[in-house]
Every structure is written in structure tokens, then in C-alpha cells.
Structure 1
């Protein structure tokens, strides 16, 4: 009977020590990202002793405070925020190159350009006034070239970032498949796979944020991962992703050729910038350049040069803002600007009627100034709406994460209370051992 009592008490000591180790692990990892709180499980030992009493207590594998619904909700909220945040980053980076200021940038240079024609109208024979028109036209061309290059650079940078993200996440997909293998092996050996599951959860958080990936838990503890309905991790096998197409129609597919639709996550936001927003901005900027060339060249065609010759174009235009330029002959000889409203000599050299008509085109309803302001206002409205969206989604993501942490995170206060309870139980079991030992000593001495 003494041996049985010692065995039962010893099982209590062992079980309580196991429980305290679990709580200590929780406390040590209270600030570890991705760690899920573990709960020690103690159960009565199987069977009964010959005396009809229990055989003590047995510690089982620690369970995890896992809530799949809350975890999925947190991942989806994080993915939505990452999508908006990635798009916001690209658009805010390009916005600074398109000021609405009247003192700097394309808007200011357009205003100065029209005003220079007013000066020519007042002094048509002044070569300095005509040269100023050419100089300001050159400034406009430089503005348009710079702005077009900025959009192209932003598009290229965004594509490089997306490529790097896909490359990094390919490694994550491989790691998840390897973790699935390790989880199967660990559980088959009867060991706890909780630490592996924590790693799995942390990697899934990254994939959700980057690619909008979702996971489905399998009965054996592994997960399958899909993106846009396409399985990219199935058991111990992982697919790899790659970019396909070019800016404007850039996409993602598996290396076996299956198209993967990005519906959320940073990749979706970056793709939206590359394929939708930046091409639209480029198109609107090209429209400004085309309007400028068409407006100016059309008005010049209605006038005459200082020598009475019919007016010719000032701007050359090819594929848009990146290719607009000056007609070389006019740039070299400002007297070829068709400022006159008459071909009669010598009046043509001193007539500024057409120059005045040109100056009056400032702020025309279908002119480049209106087109540019509409472009900048559209950009500003989109970014303002996106900023509000990011602010709202940040609150949603924080709330979702807080809800998840309330269930799966480590509550230090409650863990300290549990530690105290297990310590007291440990001490109680130890006292049983001490009491049985004293009883056995007394019996031995009595004999």
C-alpha cells in the first residue's frame, strides 16, 4: 500500500511539474509573434489498483488555444489592409510629381507659357519676347518628359517590389510544405507538434498579408494553402509562383502555367497600381501633352510669321508626353512663330493678333490646363479616398487581431494564477510523499 501511495503521489508531482513547465513556456513566449498559448491537460491514469483506487494522474500533450474563425478573420483583415497600403504607397510616391501649385511644376509653366504670348502680342517685333516663348515651351516639354519618366520609374519600381515579394513568398510556400512533413512525422512519433504549428501560423500570416492566401486545416494537422482559389500548398507539396506579362497586363501564375488571381494582399494592391492606376495616369498625362500640341499648333496654323508666311507648328508629338518636342526650325528661329494675324508686309512683322488669340487660349475648356487640373484632381480624389480606406481598414485589422489575441495570446496575469495553482498542487503531492515516507519509517521503527 505504501508503494501505491508513493506512486500516486509521484504521478501528481510529475504531472504538476509538466503543467508548470507549460505555463513557464507560455510566459516566456508572451511577446513572441505567432505563439499560441498552450494549456496543460491532466487526466486520471488508466485503470485501478488491486485495492480499487485510482493509479494517479497522467499529463497529456498540451492543447493550443486555437480559434480558426478568428484567425481567418484576422488574416483577411490584414490582407485587405496590406492591399490598400501597397496601392497607397505607390500612388503617394507619384503624387508629389504632379503639384497643383501656381508657382512650380507643369501647372505654373503652362500659365507662364500663355502669358509669354501676351507679351509677344504687345511687342511682336521683340526677338526677346519670342525667344521667351521658345524657352517656356522647352520648360513644358521638360516637365512632360520628367512626369512621364516618373510614372515609368514608379511602374518599374513597383514591378521590382512585386517580383521580390513573389520570390520571398515562394520560399515561404516551400517552408509550409516542409512544416507539413515535420508535423506528420512528429505526431506519428507521439510528440507535440505545437511549436511547428506556431511556425505554420506565423508563415500563413505573412502569406495572407502578401498574397491574400487562405489556409484549410486538415485532419492530420497539416494545412492546404490556396490563393484566388488555386491550391499552392497541398500536403507536403508546394507550387512556385512567377510573374507573367508586362506592365498594364502583368499577372501571377504558377510555374506550371496556372493563372493565380490576386484578390487581396500587398500583391493585389501593387498589381492594381501597375495595371490600372499608373497606366491611367500616363494616359491622362499623354492627353495633356496632345492637347498642348494640338491647341498651340492649330492656333499657329491660323496665323503668319514675321515674313508673312503661313504659320507652322511649334510642337512635335509622337506617342504622348514622353515624345513631345519642339520643331527644330522654329526653336532655332523664333521669328517663325506665327504671331501675326495678317500676311501683308511690312505689317506682318509688327502684328500680334494671332499671338493675342494664343494668349486667350489660357484655361480653354478643352485645353491642356483644364486637362491637367482634371488629371491632378482625379489623382488627389483617388488618393484621398484610399487614405480614408486605409484608416478604416487599420481599425478593422487591429480589432480582428485583438480578438484573436484575446483567445490565443498569452494573458500573463491568468498564467501567473495558473502557475500558483500548479505550485500548490505540486506541494500537496510532495507532502503526500513526505507523509508516506514518515509512515513507512515509523512502521519500520515499530518492528
Structure 2
């Protein structure tokens, strides 16, 4: 017998990961560790929990009482750390030609192990009188374990994340406009596709969040200063019982409300009243997800269906001459983040001081669905850096060369 990964459905319909032990009972501390995580989706927690399960099963195979080792501050011996390293390198189901996980997966596993052990350290430390001495002793071997694991991590060059260029965005919106004669899609799905691309460009939501949207996703709030505000509610997919898709989409983070323009809110409402109802009674009987596929008996749009739409746009747009670079769903997210960052920073990284910088970071974190302390937004700054460099060079030219160019 071994530790296994399970799940439980909460009262609000969301799922929570659950780890069961040999007797089929949920051990307290591993489950408490994941119960305190509120800003991540079920899929993300499942991926993280699989590493903890792997760690607990490894300790059981090695006849190591891992919780007692942390509680006593004893830690792991050198040969045990080496055995743990080997275990984390292997795939969950290795094959003859594919034994090991990728460098990124290995890094994520190492980080999760250290986070879980640090949680145990804090939990046991709060139960001790001499808390500080215990924390210092356990932190020492956790630092050693971190250095050992990370010294065996292959560091890959950072992936440069870039959105679409401005001409690409304009060309894409023009191509799929419902009234464009060159629109490559059937009349019954043109308004749907037009709305999908608009939502992706204007909100930067993830694919799972887009396909989990319900027909009541738009809400209004009256603000004294700004008047009527419109929001797009992004939730976890808690309607799995009525979702016929073989791979139901999942939001990566917890629920949040994304501000949208009044025009986009009107387009969504118009699509529900006209475009979606244009599909007939079959569409009305379908599950109340916002976007349906193009079948004669409509069902919620699948991830594969969305990718086919993007592939069709790319192939038709590049038929006569190259117009689009690779059209991938995540690049819409990059585009929105780049434009949002440009507006927030105004092209000057030091404008407004540290307080203003922290404010725009929090805006990016909220829009991206990241934690309040996440630095994920730094991966989306490639074009903003180029834009800032361009403005700086213009100032250099203005100060030094402009009088010679007359």
C-alpha cells in the first residue's frame, strides 16, 4: 500500500485535492498544507500534490519517517538525499526510451519538496518552546538540501514571451470581422469567433478560463465616481456534471472579476441574444457555457475546437503572403500584458517612484491571476523593455543630435 492522490467536492462545487494514506485515511499535515492554498486551481494543486505523494511514498519505501525527521530536526543523510534526487528525476510512468522528466519538471518538483518541508518546519516549530533554535537547525539542513537539489538542476535559457505585433492584431481583427467577405468561417459561427478573439485580446484570460465562461459571466456594478462598471467573472469550472467535453477546461487560478469595456460587455450580450440563439433550439438545450462548437447539435466548445479556429485564421491569413507569425492561444495573453504594462508605466520605468511601480505590479498580478507576491509579470516585459529603450534613444537624439539634423 502507498499514499494515493484523491479529491473531494466542496459545497460550492469546487474540487479540493486529497491525499490518502495506506489505510485510506487522509493524513492531517499533508492535507492541511494544500487546504491553506487558496489562489490556485484544482489542476495546479493536483500537479503539486503528485510531487508530495511521490515524496511520501519514497520515504515509505526507504523506511524513513519523514514527519518525525522534520519534527526532530534530524533531516536527511547524504545518501538519502542522493536517493531522493534519483527518485525525482524519474517520470511517474517511465518507458524504455523516456525515463526522465524535463528540466523544468525537475525544478518544480524540487521547489515543491522544499515548500512542503518548510511548511512542516513552521508547523512543528510553533509547538516548541525553543522555537528559534529549532527553526535555525531545520533551516540549515533545508538550505543544504536545496543547494544539493538545485546543483543538479540543468538551467535552461529563459523563454522570451512576446505577443502579436500591432499589424498582426489589426489584420487578425479585420480578417475575422463578421461582415468581412473574406472571413473563412461559416456565418453561424462568425460572431462567436469575433467575440473569442476580442475577449482574448482585451482580457488576456487563459484558454481554460475562456472555455469555462458561462452565459451569465458579465456583471455590472454602479460606482459613485466612475458610473456603471462592467466585469467578466472568471470562475473555476464547477459544472463538471453537465459538461460533456472529454477534457473539461479548468481555470488555473481561483475566481476573479476582470474589468472590461462597456463595448465588450455589449458584444457579449449581443452574441448571447443573437449569435448563440441563431443556432436554434439545439443551442438553447446545450449546457449554459458561453461558447458552443459548430456542430449541428451544439455542445460546449472544446480546447481542440479553439485550436482549430486559431489554426484556420493563421492558414487563411498567410495564404497570399506571410501576415501572421505562429498564432498560439497564450500569445493573446502576452499581447494584453504588454499593452497593459505600456499603459501603466507610460514608457518611463521610474515615473511615480516605488509606490507607483508597486501599484502597477499589483494590477498585472490581478489581471494575470497570479498571487500578490508573484514575479510572473517579469516574463512579459520583453517588448516593454524595447519600447522604453526606443524612447530613451529618442531623448538622446533630441539632446545631442537634433540641432545637426536641421
What TM-score results when the alignment is normalised by the length of structure 2?
Answer: 0.19
Which has a greater percent of helix? 1
Bigger Cα Rg: 1
What TM-score results when the alignment is normalised by the length of structure 1?
Answer: 0.18
Question: Relative CO higher for 1 or 2, CA cutoff 8 Å, sep ≥ 6?
Answer: 1
